[in-house]
Amino acid sequence: MIAYVKGELILVSEEGVVVETGGLGYDIKMPLSSLSNLPRIGSTITVYTYLYVREDNIGLFGFLTKEDLSIFKLLITVNGIGPKGALGILSSITPDDLRFAVLSEDVKTIAKAPGIGTKTAGKLILELKDKLKLSDAFEERLSKNIEGGLTPRGEGNILYEVRREAIEALTALGYSAAEAAKTVGAVEIKEDMTVEDVLKLSLKNISF
User: Which residues are registered as beta bridge partners of 45?
Assistant: 7
Residue 5 reports pLDDT greater than 90: yes
Name the DSSP class of 3.
Answer: -
Distant-in-sequence, close-in-space partners of 57: CB < 8 Å, separation ≥ 6 = none
pLDDT of residue 189: 81
Average pLDDT over the chain, rounded to an integer = 82
Mean pLDDT for the stretch of residues 55-62: 88
Could you give the angle at which helices 66-75 and 83-92 cross, rounded to 10 degrees?
130
pTM score, whole prediction = 0.68
Which one of 57-61, 128-132, 156-160, 164-168 scores highest in mean pLDDT?
Answer: 57-61
> What percent of the chain has pLDDT above 70?
84
Outline where the chain has alpha helix (H): 32-35, 66-75, 83-92, 95-103, 107-111, 118-128, 134-147, 155-172, 177-185, 195-207
The alpha carbon of residue 187 and the mean position of all alpha carbons in its chain are separated, in whole angstroms, by: 21
Which CATH code for domain 66-128? Answer: 1.10.150.20
pLDDT confidence of 139, banded at 50, 70, 90? low
Paired residues of 175 in beta bridges: none
Residue 32 has pLDDT above 90, yes or no: no
CATH 1.10.8.10 spans which residues of the chain?
Answer: 134-207
Distance CA 67, CA 100 (A): 15
Give the model's pLDDT for residue 207.
53
Q: Does domain 4-63 have CATH number 2.40.50.140?
A: yes
Select the more confidently predicted residue: 142 or 53.
53
Using DSSP, state whether 152 is helix, strand or coil: coil
Q: Does domain 134-207 have CATH number 1.10.8.10?
A: yes
Q: Which one, of 159, 107, 98, 166, lies nearest residue 133 by Cα?
A: 98
Where are the CATH 2.40.50.140 domain residues in the chain? Answer: 4-63
The pLDDT of residue 184 is: 81
